[in-house]
Amino acid sequence: MNKIINFLDRYLYIIFPSFALLVIIGLMIYPMLYSIYLSFHEWQLGALSGPLFVGFANFNKLFSDSAYIRSLSITFLYSFLCLIIEIPFGMILALILNKSFKSITWIRNIFLLPILVTPVAISLIWVMMYNPSIGILNYFLRGLGLPPSLWISSTSTVIPSLVLVDVWKWTPLVALILLGGLKSLPSSPYEAVKIDGATTFQTFLYITVPLLKPTIMAALLIRFIDSLKTFAVIYTMTGGGPAQASRTTYLFAYDTSFKYFRMGYGSAAVMVFFFILLIISFALTKLKKQT
């Protein structure tokens, strides 16, 4: 018994992390390595024969595949629209929540509720709200004397409609990150500009924004990468439609792999997008360090 106790005391720092390491290997590293393996093979899911090695053939096809190129453009357009709305609105919300007044704690908690709701539940609620016939949003438009919209049923409005859902859900997170940055800012610069007679807007523009740049870049990096990976909301609400107008890269890979059973080609699509994300992440991280 003493030998067991001595053994555990000596190697406990290895035993405990090893369980977490096994979980990470099983759920993250192995699937990624297997996807890399499949990306160099042609394999029809359900076929009697195993994966056939084709080298870089899948990657060569991707760069000439108009559907894949379109999915990349839709993905980056969606992410860009999310960012240019969420960052400014998150800043406004953070400035409001940074004030001290009665019930501010309750108000902060209420604003954070959208983050807690699961993506599928959010999607189903917004699908009902976007319904062209019985949706509440068109009801309000009619009440204002405006023509109803097709929302996610039209190729011209589906991306803005999906962006609206993302903004509703994730702007509070951006506000929370920026609020943490605002709470950590020193008070001495504000006291100095107050003595100099600076206006509120001048204080925000020349003091708050420069001091908050690292936090803004952190929020930008988190939301940019996360918005590029959006899958559940878009898949539940539109499935990539109408007419593939909301078919992002992940939906392209999903359809290729699990609808058309081209596992190798779908894996190659994911790998290319993964390396694009990796390059962007490194670039934004380097930019963040320079701020």
Residue 249 CA to residue 72 CA, distance in Å, equals: 6
Residue 168 CA to residue 113 CA, distance in Å, equals: 10
Is 225 a member of any domain?
Answer: yes
Which long-range contacts (C-beta less than 8 Å, at least 24 apart) are formed by 76-79? 76/228, 77/159, 78/159, 78/162, 78/163, 78/166, 78/227, 78/230, 78/246, 78/248, 79/224, 79/227, 79/228, 79/230
Is 32 a member of any domain?
Answer: no
pLDDT for the residue 291:
64
pLDDT for the residue 2:
67
pLDDT for the residue 178:
93
Residue whose structure tokens are 């996360």: 226
Residue 88 CA to residue 223 CA, distance in Å, equals: 13
Is 58 a member of any domain?
Answer: no
Residues in the chain where the model's pLDDT stays below 50? none
pLDDT for the residue 111:
78
Residue 209 CA to residue 204 CA, distance in Å, equals: 6
Is 41 a member of any domain?
Answer: no
Is 56 a member of any domain?
Answer: no
Is 59 a member of any domain?
Answer: no
Is 42 a member of any domain?
Answer: no
Give how many domains the chain has, as a whole number.
1
State the CATH number of the domain containing residue 220. Answer: 1.10.3720.10
Is 93 a member of any domain?
Answer: yes
pLDDT for the residue 7:
63
Q: Does the predicted model carry a pTM greater than 0.95? A: no
**Torsion angle, CA of 257/263/267/268, rounded to 10 degrees?**
-110
167: left (phi over 0), alpha (psi -120 to 50) or beta: alpha
User: What residues make up the domain containing 110?
Assistant: 67-290
3-state SS class at 149: coil
pLDDT for the residue 203:
87
pLDDT digits (tens, 9 = 90+) for 145-188: 889 999 999 999 999 999 999 999 999 999 999 998 998 888 88
pLDDT for the residue 83:
94
pLDDT for the residue 150:
92
pLDDT for the residue 174:
94
